[in-house]
Amino acid sequence: MVGDVARRVWPRVEQPGGEVAEAARRQDWPAVRDLLLAVPEGEWEPLLRGLGVGEGVREWLAEVIEKEPEPALALLVSASCHIHWAWEARTDALATYVSAEQFRLFHERLRIAEEQLYEVAEREPAWAEPWHLLLITGRGLEVGPTPAYERFEAVVRRQPEHLGAHLQYLQQVAAKWGGSEEEMHHFAWTAMTGARPGSPLGVLVAVAHIESMLDRGGRPSHYFGQPTVRRALREAADRSVCHPDHRRGPDWAFEYNAFAMVFALGGETRAARQLFRALGGRVTESPWRYLSVGAVPAYRRWRHRCGVWF
C-alpha cells in the first residue's frame, strides 16, 4: 500500500547522488568511499547517477586510482563519471542531429568506461554494479543484442531485482535501440510477474507504456486513457507501489512519479492523487520531462488537476 503522506513542501526535483556527488565535487575520496560503503552494493546505482558534473572530478579520480591499494570502487566511480561525460558529448538529440565529432567523443569516453568496468568486474566478481553500467556503455557502443543480454544476466544473477539494470535492458529491447514495441512490453510484463509481490519491477510496465506513448508522437491522455492500458497499469501498481509489501528503496520517488504521471494522464484521478500526496512534492526529472514543459511545471499542473494543492 502507498505509504503515509509525506511532508508537504513546494515541488522540487530530486537530485541524484546528493551527498556523494557533493563529496566528489569537493574531491573528498574518503567521504565518497564511506557514503557508498554505508549502503548495500545493490543500492549504489542512484548514488553514482549524479557523479561526473564537477570540474576536475575525472582527473582527481585518476589520481585516487593510482594511490588506492584496492582501487575497484574508485574505478567504478570513475567509469560512472565517464559515462556521464560521454552522454554529455552525444546529447539527447536524435542520431541524425549528432555530429561525427560528437559521436567520436561519445565512443571514446564510453570505451574508457568499459575498460575500467571490466577491471572492476575482475577485481570484485560478486558486484552487480559494473555489469549494470556495462549495459549502458554497451548500448552506446552498439555491442548488439547477445552481449547486451549477457550483461543483463550478469546483473540479475547477482541482484535479481536490480531496478536500474531492468530499466536499461528495457531501453535495449525498445524499438529506438533496435528492438520492438512487442519485445519491450513482453520484457516488462514478464519481469514484473516473475518478481516477488511488492517488487519495484512493476514500474517497468509504466515505463514501457510511456515509451509507447512517445513513439506515437503525443496525445498522452488519449494513449493512457485506453481501457487496456489502464488495466495493465492498475495491475502493475497493485503488484508494486500499491502492494502492502512494497518497500521504499532508493528509487521510490521515481516509481511513484512514474505511476502518478500515467494515472493522471489516463484519468485515474484517485490513484494519481494518492501517489501525489505520498510524494509530498518530490519530483523526478524522468518521466515528467517527456511532457515538454519541464519536470516541475508538468508535475505541478497534473497534481493540481488531480486535486492536490500542496
Domains of the chain (ranges plus CATH)? 17-172 (1.25.40), 194-310 (no CATH)
Helix (H, G, I), strand (E, B) or coil at 13: strand
User: What is the Rg, in whole angstroms, of the alpha carbon atoms belonging to the chain?
Assistant: 19
| Beta carbons of 157 and 71 less than 8 angstroms apart | no
Task: State pLDDT tens for residues 194-215.
Answer: 999 999 999 999 999 999 999 9
Spatial CA neighbour of 166 closest among 142, 135, 140, 141: 135
Q: Is 44 exposed, middle or buried (0-12, 13-18, 19+ CB in 10 A)?
A: buried
Q: What is the chain's pLDDT, residue by residue, as a tens digit (310 residues)?
A: 565 444 444 565 555 567 888 888 889 999 999 999 999 998 888 888 777 656 688 899 999 999 999 999 999 999 999 998 898 888 877 778 888 989 899 999 999 999 999 999 999 999 999 999 999 999 999 999 999 999 999 999 999 999 999 999 999 999 988 899 999 999 999 999 999 999 999 999 999 999 999 998 868 889 999 999 999 999 999 999 999 999 998 899 999 999 999 999 999 999 999 999 999 999 999 999 988 778 999 999 999 999 887 6
Task: State pLDDT tens for residues 138-183.
Answer: 999 999 999 999 999 999 999 999 999 999 999 999 998 889 999 9
Rounded Cα distance, 20 and 245, in Å: 29
